[in-house]
Amino acid sequence: MARASTRKSVDPAYLQALGQRLRALRKERGWSQDDLAEHADVHRTHPGKLENAEIGNPQIGTLMALATAFGLTLPELLTFPFQTQPEREESPRP
């Protein structure tokens, strides 16, 4: 009998922000997605899928490999500003 998965998906806003960060770091170096995959020794489709937030639960090993390829620690790669919801201004109450 198959076990039900108890894994929770990562916040989609965080995944989008991570994808933007990966794309920016890759472009700063003048690398294609294939170049990044080669530098990180990950499957060639992973950089594109991560940049487009198509992987709901990125594997820690993949993220560590990407961080190393960029010359960053994992915390440096994963620390960046993002918002889970757009900020709304409170309207004054009458």
The confidence band for 87, taking pLDDT boundaries of 50, 70 and 90, is: very low
Domains delineated in the chain: 12-77 (1.10.260.40)
Assigned token pair, 91: 């309207």
Percent of the chain with pLDDT over 90: 67
56, pLDDT greater than 80? yes
Q: How far apart, in Å, are the Cα atoms of 32 and each of 26, 37, 44, 51, 52?
A: 7, 9, 10, 12, 14
What is the average per-residue pLDDT within 14-36? Answer: 96
Instruction: Look at 94 and 79; give whichever has higher pLDDT.
Output: 79
